Chains A and B, each alone.
Chain A
Amino acid sequence: MINDKEFISKKVGSITFGIMGPKFIKDTASAKIVTPELYDKEGYPVDGGLMDVRLGVIDPGLKCKTCGLKLKECPGHFGYIELARPVVHIKFVELVLDLLRLTCRGCSRVLLPDGKVQEIKDDLERISTFGSDVERRNYLKELTASLKTVTKCPHCGEKQAKVKLEKPTTFLEDEKRISPIEVRSRFEKITDEDLELIGISSQTARPEWSILTVLPIPPVTMRPSITLESGERSEDDLTHKLGDIVRINQRLFENINAGAPEIIVEDLWDLLQYHVTTFFDNDVSQLPPARHRSGQPLKTLTSRIKSKEGRIRHNLAGKRVNFSARAVISPDPKLEINEVGVSREFARKLTVPEKITEWNKDYLRKFVEAGPDNYPGSNYIVRPDGRRKQITDETKEQLLEELEPGLIVERHLLDGDVVIFNRQPSLHKMSMMCHRVRVLDGLTLRLNPAVCAPYNADFDGDEMNLHVPQTEEARAEAEILMQVQTQLISPRYGLSIIGCNQDAISGNYLLTKKGFEVSYSEAVDMIMAIGETDFSRLPKKEMVTGKEIFSVLLPEDLSFKAPNKLYKANPEDPEGMVVIKDGVLTQGVLDKQNLGDGSGLLLRQIHKIYGPDKTVVFLGKIYRLGIETLYRRGFTVSISDTDLSQEGESQVNETILSAEKEVAKLIEQYEAGKLEALPGRSTRETFELEVLRILNKARNDAGTIVTDTAKHSNTIDMIKSGARGNVINIAQMSAIVGQQDLRGGRVNKGYVNRTLSCFKENDLGAAAHGFIRNGFKSGLLPHEAFFMGMTGRDSLMDTALRTPKSGYLYRRLANAMQDLKVEYDFTVRDASGKIVQFVYGEDGIDVSKSEGGILNVKKIIAEVLEE
């Protein structure tokens, strides 16, 4: 059964670059192109034309005359044309210029005295043994620069003239033009040895090859014509350009043979040069670009390779794939953290290849029987020779008969299949993680909201991509290295990036808070609803507390003690310390500090003791428990949450008033010139800083007043648990928005000596420079709204300008460091084996296996001592 063929795998070992010489071009060419005509009357490609069938085929049904293969099988073959007169290759103009200057006009030797040759050879030898490529390049650069000033040939004594380049392709010597023929004949005489001295490989790049005498014609397969709806053929830009070249070339031939006057020949020659130049590069700055009849410039070779949309970055460094899907995402906390919900429609199109063996033939037969339209079914059968057969109602019968071990069935996606899930921009490796499939009703892709953080996803219309690995190796790799649970700890800072968020935190906060009680039966309901079936650990009482419900999910042998957010405010509060004893939560409220991402103390402990697999399961359960709690308890916010008490309002007013008074005093001082400048600052700067300080303090004070006096509400609970929002948010809504910050200071732009036309000139007061003393609920005054608009616009600009900048920085970093890897001896080396670091990170520790980047020595010592 094992085919010998399968074992032969070939790998490209290395690639050598060089210039195609005329002989090479002719030898590899399969057709000589002589006519600019493309098709004959029947629409069949003309022999010797640019679409010659010997150059490959682009018509279905036709066969390539060179290799006999059909469309999509034939890779295409090069042709050539004989140029009537040689022309310069635009990309080698600099090489030609350098060589003209470096070699003698008489004897074509490099302008180096024989005595120095050995010295340079030794130098080069030394550099190539010990130095880098860059050193070699720099050495040669210096050498060539020094030779350009030589005025007399050390070999034949010929006087050297100054060679100039008249852009783009004309060379002048003593104001006289050197024709490409002349250049070529000079170059032919340069010896191989001389070339090595100036760093040109004579094997791969004889300099005369930079003057074209024959032009290779690229295969038709890389310049296919497209048939328009009207049946008309539209040729590729390259074909157009080649057509021009062939046409002019022919005219030049004819004129030369007919003995036309020199001036006409010269003109045609220049025209040929122009066409060949624009064939290679249509963006040469000194030449008008060749255009379509519509006026749009042609896309020729250089622009095909260059830039983001060019061949290299678009097709070689990035490739399109099959077996992928994309859809809008939506949340589903009922899914496990490492699952992804896929619609049935998607599951029917995305397939997994499975090889038929003796053991699974009955299992796979069912998929074939179901066919492509029923789920779960299958779409294709792949024969060992690689032929694919589509399963349809017509072919099904026959295919079922043919089923035998060795065939591959491409069956529909099933629950539990391994897929890779991705959201762009893929800024870090957690942007592509491996999930398990859950086929669900509905059309969107579903994910647990806990994994929003690593993907940076939300559900305001975000779309995500799904990839189905097709080989056993790929699946294994995805499962072991990319699954969500393996990515819990960020390699950036060594802490968890996945944790409870939003509702899951406020839910668990309310659940574990003092006073949460439900009946036994409801508690069982809740536990069952989150997917936990074992509730034997729930105390059999009439009323059960939230802490007891939470404890059911905890591992039985877990003991844990850590402070929560309350602890910081009041260390005396018993609820400020989370205590878990033998798997029972005895004390403390769970909040972001323990369940959230980042430090997530409880989660981190569980991860450490029980490993990643158990952690995701646990996390999924507590996540659902939090949400289940909110389902049952109800959770809502309302505008009255931001109501200020009478007392609070008067306190806030007082703070603002006193701040404004302080500012007024400062203005007085400043205007009287009594303000003492801080060292290194002008008095004006000092004044601005002081005002900012006073006003920001006022806002912060107002914030504390608001939270201190606010009545208890869900909004406050969200803030306290760390689920969402902070003190400033609520203060801005109910009391005061505060000073607007524009470019690191107060608002100082606008009209002459004032910010808005409603203020007097040179008003230094708080209100005139962007201090908003109203809250969002009470509403902003007109000028305040304007100031908000200004800072809002500024921050919009900021993001718009930052994204491309940081994107480019990232690209550069990734490009510079993509080859660095840890070797088996723990050194970090680059692609050429040079050592970058002797030990990775100076201690060899992988950040994603550490605790915040360090080995927690203290904790281990404490553990050992406690034993």
Chain B
Amino acid sequence: MEQLIKEYADLLPQSVIQDIVDNVPSGTSSAKIKKIFEKINEEYRFALVDPGQSVGVISAESIGEPSTQMTLDTFHFAGVSEVNVTTGLPRVIEILDGRKNISTSSMEIFLVSPYSEGKDITKIASQIRETTLKTFIKEIDINISNTTLQVTLNSKSVEDAGVNKKKLIKLLEKSIKGYGVTEADDILTIKPTKEGDINELYKLKEIIKDVYVHGIKGMKQVVPVNRDGEHVLVTSGSNMKEVFKLEFVDTQRTTTNDVFEIENFLGIEAARAAVINEIMKVFEGQGISIDVRHILLVADTMSMSGHVLGINRYGIVKEKPSVLARASFETPIKHLISAAITGERDYLNSVIENVMLNQPVPSGTGLPGLVTGGIMNPDHHHAAKKAKK
């Protein structure tokens, strides 16, 4: 067996060999195993792509055609207790556009044992969730007569969260400059150090609500979920860098749905994998079957340059070497003008330029050249030789 594996290592892809190893029952005679390898190699040769196949177009069709059947549902309830995430066509468009700000970012935080069994799960959740002062405030009053702001704290929730009141006040003082804070029971009185302005106080009221207390920035919602016996945190909002600093997080599996964030934090290969996973997730969620190879190809095209590029005129299309190919997509005039200024040359290597010129397209059956034993004009032949020189 080992010898056969070595023998076929260059002939069959690793995944197929692994498949064979996994599926051949033990005790099979070596002659049979050999036959299995031969047969599979034969089938594999048969199933290979033909050179010249326009795989790009096929992938585009395979993604484009079913997307007409997708529902436009922006929000989707993935299970009863999870977070709202964009799915369907808008999500596919968002990923393929290579957007830097996605509409609903979300993380899936896996935990290391014993936390993955549910230890302190709610405590961890509240530790991760970004908490602002708003959570602790009962009410805010504006005293017009002496231009002060009175914040009534909810002492119970302050205690529950285990936050020091002093620390709270310090945080508050730090974030609002030019105001003094005095404490009496649960009421904080905020007074401008200089002459106060009522309108300023109204603005201040909103600022106070969003004063950061603890947790990880951007984590608007953290929901513990039980996945086949394992406790996982699903969040709304995403901040990979900070989450990975926590010691109870399983950094191997924890992930986010924000491709751009992954690209910055983990690099381009991870971003490519994220694109594949995210697109597959949407199609699977819609019950549409589509082969991974098409998604792989799209993800590879998007990440080929080392950055995640969107499939639009600012991304991939801009990178095309051919002027006419760019012009045929969007903003043709702009491309033609800039080509004229820089004196660009179009070598007509791709499909669309040759369609424009009524010439055979260099892919598929247009790829191979055929030399026939026809009678060639000797002058013409000579001229061609000369031109080469």
- State the A residues within 8 Å of B (CB): 2, 4, 7-8, 11-19, 91-92, 95, 132-134, 199-201, 203-205, 281, 302, 305-306, 310, 312-313, 316-317, 319, 427-429, 477, 481, 491-495, 678-681, 689, 693, 743-744, 798, 801-803, 805-807, 809-810, 812-824, 826, 828, 830-834, 836-837, 839-847, 849-850, 853, 855, 857-858, 860-861, 863-865
Q: Which residue of B lies closest to A818 (CB)?
A: B351
User: Given the complex, which residues of B lie within 8 Å of A316, measured CB to CB?
Assistant: 328, 355-356
Question: Would you call A16 and B56 a contact (CB within 8 A)?
Answer: no
Question: Would you call B23 and A861 a contact (CB within 8 A)?
Answer: yes
Bound-state Cα–Cα, A317 to B355, Å: 6
Q: Nearest 6 pairs between A and B by C-beta?
A: A201-B343, A820-B56, A810-B64, A841-B293, A817-B56, A831-B350
Question: Would you call B48 and A826 a contact (CB within 8 A)?
Answer: yes
Bound-state Cα–Cα, A429 to B364, Å: 13
Q: Which residue of A lies closest to B83 (CB)?
A: A680
**Known contacts being A493-B291, A813-B96, is A857 close to B56, with CB within 8 Å?**
no
**Known contacts being A205-B341, A855-B44, is A836 close to B80, with CB within 8 Å?**
no
Quick one: which of A14, A821, A836 contacts B54, CB cutoff 8 A? A821
Question: Would you call A204 and B332 a contact (CB within 8 A)?
Answer: no
Quick one: which of A199, A302, A816, A832 contacts B316, CB cutoff 8 A? A816
Least distance between A799 CB and chain B CB atoms (Å)? 8
Question: Would you call B290 and A860 a contact (CB within 8 A)?
Answer: no
Least distance between A327 CB and chain B CB atoms (Å)? 25
User: Given the complex, which residues of B lie within 8 Å of A821, measured CB to CB?
Assistant: 52-56, 363-364, 367
Bound-state Cα–Cα, A210 to B18, Å: 64
Bound-state Cα–Cα, A440 to B247, Å: 77
A-B contact pairs, 12 of them (CB 8 A): A7-B377, A12-B348, A15-B323, A95-B341, A492-B61, A806-B70, A813-B64, A814-B64, A819-B351, A822-B51, A822-B53, A823-B51
Question: Would you call A491 and B62 a contact (CB within 8 A)?
Answer: yes
**Known contacts being A17-B344, A693-B80, A806-B89, is A317 close to B50, with CB within 8 Å?**
no
**Known contacts being A312-B332, A847-B291, is A831 close to B342, with CB within 8 Å?**
no
Bound-state Cα–Cα, A475 to B320, Å: 33
User: Given the complex, which residues of B lie within 8 Å of A814, measured CB to CB?
Assistant: 57, 60-61, 64
Question: Would you call B89 and A857 a contact (CB within 8 A)?
Answer: no
| Residues 304-353 (chain B) with a chain A CB within 8 angstroms | 304-305, 311-312, 315-325, 327-329, 332-333, 336-337, 339-353
Bound-state Cα–Cα, A305 to B356, Å: 13
User: Given the complex, which residues of A lie within 8 Å of B72, measured CB to CB?
Assistant: 798, 801-802, 805
Using A17-B345, A813-B96 as known contacts, list a sample of 15 further A-B pairs with CB atoms less than 8 Å apart, ordered by residue number in A: A12-B359, A17-B323, A132-B319, A481-B365, A494-B291, A495-B289, A805-B72, A806-B68, A806-B70, A813-B64, A817-B57, A819-B351, A820-B57, A831-B325, A860-B43
Question: Would you call A204 and B340 a contact (CB within 8 A)?
Answer: yes
Bound-state Cα–Cα, A822 to B58, Å: 12
Q: Which residue of A lies closest to B356 (CB)?
A: A316
User: Given the complex, which residues of B lie within 8 Å of A305, measured CB to CB?
Assistant: 332-333, 336
User: Given the complex, which residues of A lie within 8 Å of B9, measured CB to CB?
Assistant: none
User: Given the complex, which residues of A lie within 8 Å of B343, measured CB to CB?
Assistant: 16-18, 200-201, 203-205
Question: Would you call A802 and B70 a contact (CB within 8 A)?
Answer: yes
Segment at the interface with A among B132-140, B184-192, B219-227: B219-227
User: Given the complex, which residues of B lie within 8 Å of A743, measured CB to CB?
Assistant: 73, 75
Question: Would you call B70 and A840 a contact (CB within 8 A)?
Answer: no
Question: Would you call A822 and B328 a contact (CB within 8 A)?
Answer: no
Interface residue B47 (Cβ < 8 Å from any Cβ of A) = yes
Segment at the interface with A among B31-39, B155-163, B208-216: B31-39
Question: Would you call A840 and B55 a contact (CB within 8 A)?
Answer: yes
Interface residue B229 (Cβ < 8 Å from any Cβ of A) = no
User: Given the complex, which residues of A lie within 8 Å of B324, measured CB to CB?
Assistant: 15
Least distance between B40 CB and chain A CB atoms (Å)? 5
Bound-state Cα–Cα, A69 to B305, Å: 51
Segment at the interface with A among B107-115, B198-206, B256-264, B294-302: B294-302
User: Given the complex, which residues of B lie within 8 Å of A492, measured CB to CB?
Assistant: 61-62, 65-66, 289-291, 294
Least distance between A817 CB and chain B CB atoms (Å)? 3
User: Given the complex, which residues of A lie within 8 Å of B353, measured CB to CB?
Assistant: 15
Question: Would you call A813 and B54 a contact (CB within 8 A)?
Answer: no
Quick one: which of A427, A477, A822 contacts B64, CB cutoff 8 A? A427
Question: Would you call B317 and A816 a contact (CB within 8 A)?
Answer: yes
Bound-state Cα–Cα, A816 to B329, Å: 9
Bound-state Cα–Cα, A809 to B28, Å: 51
User: Given the complex, which residues of B lie within 8 Å of A812, measured CB to CB?
Assistant: 96, 311-312, 317, 329
Question: Would you call A8 and B377 a contact (CB within 8 A)?
Answer: yes
User: Given the complex, which residues of A lie within 8 Å of B255, measured CB to CB?
Assistant: none
**Known contacts being A2-B375, A843-B13, is A864 close to B36, with CB within 8 Å?**
yes
User: Given the complex, which residues of B lie within 8 Å of A857, measured CB to CB?
Assistant: 16, 19-20, 23, 40
Q: C-beta contact mask, B5-23 vs A, less than 8 Å → 1, else 0?
A: 0000000010110011001
Bound-state Cα–Cα, A819 to B324, Å: 13
Q: Which residue of B lies closest to A133 (CB)?
A: B321
Question: Would you call A831 and B377 a contact (CB within 8 A)?
Answer: no
Interface centre among A680, A681, A693, A863, by most B CB within 10 Å?
A680
User: Given the complex, which residues of B lie within 8 Å of A858, measured CB to CB?
Assistant: 19, 23
Q: Which residue of B lies closest to A858 (CB)?
A: B23
**Known contacts being A19-B341, A818-B350, is A805 close to B77, with CB within 8 Å?**
no
Bound-state Cα–Cα, A834 to B300, Å: 12
Question: Would you call A813 and B63 a contact (CB within 8 A)?
Answer: yes
Interface residue B92 (Cβ < 8 Å from any Cβ of A) = yes
Bound-state Cα–Cα, A812 to B25, Å: 48
Interface residue B59 (Cβ < 8 Å from any Cβ of A) = yes
Question: Would you call B19 and A810 a contact (CB within 8 A)?
Answer: no
User: Given the complex, which residues of A lie within 8 Å of B16, measured CB to CB?
Assistant: 843, 855, 857
User: Given the complex, which residues of B lie within 8 Å of A844, measured CB to CB?
Assistant: 13, 48-49
Bound-state Cα–Cα, A467 to B374, Å: 30
Bound-state Cα–Cα, A760 to B143, Å: 41
User: Given the complex, which residues of B lie within 8 Å of A803, measured CB to CB?
Assistant: 68
Question: Would you call B355 and A306 a contact (CB within 8 A)?
Answer: no
Interface residue B154 (Cβ < 8 Å from any Cβ of A) = no
Least distance between B271 CB and chain A CB atoms (Å)? 16
Q: Which residue of B lies closest to A843 (CB)?
A: B13
Least distance between B174 CB and chain A CB atoms (Å)? 30
Question: Would you call A477 and B365 a contact (CB within 8 A)?
Answer: yes
Quick one: which of A7, A830, A839, A865 contacts B375, CB cutoff 8 A? A7
User: Given the complex, which residues of A lie within 8 Å of B346, measured CB to CB?
Assistant: 14-17
Bound-state Cα–Cα, A815 to B304, Å: 16
Least distance between A796 CB and chain B CB atoms (Å)? 12
Question: Would you call A428 and B375 a contact (CB within 8 A)?
Answer: no
Interface residue B147 (Cβ < 8 Å from any Cβ of A) = no
Interface residue B251 (Cβ < 8 Å from any Cβ of A) = no
Bound-state Cα–Cα, A92 to B333, Å: 11
User: Given the complex, which residues of B lie within 8 Å of A833, measured CB to CB?
Assistant: 349
Bound-state Cα–Cα, A493 to B61, Å: 12
Question: Would you call B77 and A809 a contact (CB within 8 A)?
Answer: no
Question: Would you call A205 and B289 a contact (CB within 8 A)?
Answer: no
Bound-state Cα–Cα, A803 to B13, Å: 40
User: Given the complex, which residues of A lie within 8 Å of B70, measured CB to CB?
Assistant: 802, 806
Bound-state Cα–Cα, A95 to B57, Å: 37
Question: Would you call B80 and A689 a contact (CB within 8 A)?
Answer: yes
User: Given the complex, which residues of A lie within 8 Å of B296, measured CB to CB?
Assistant: 837, 841-842
User: Given the complex, which residues of A lie within 8 Å of B352, measured CB to CB?
Assistant: 317, 815, 818
Question: Would you call A805 and B89 a contact (CB within 8 A)?
Answer: yes
User: Given the complex, which residues of A lie within 8 Å of B61, measured CB to CB?
Assistant: 427-429, 491-492, 810, 814
Bound-state Cα–Cα, A182 to B386, Å: 47
Bound-state Cα–Cα, A99 to B348, Å: 31
Interface residue B71 (Cβ < 8 Å from any Cβ of A) = yes
Least distance between B122 CB and chain A CB atoms (Å)? 8
Bound-state Cα–Cα, A845 to B125, Å: 45
User: Given the complex, which residues of B lie within 8 Å of A92, measured CB to CB?
Assistant: 337, 341
User: Given the complex, which residues of B lie within 8 Å of A481, measured CB to CB?
Assistant: 365
Interface residue B376 (Cβ < 8 Å from any Cβ of A) = yes
Question: Would you call B93 and A680 a contact (CB within 8 A)?
Answer: no
Q: Which residue of A lies closest to B363 (CB)?
A: A821
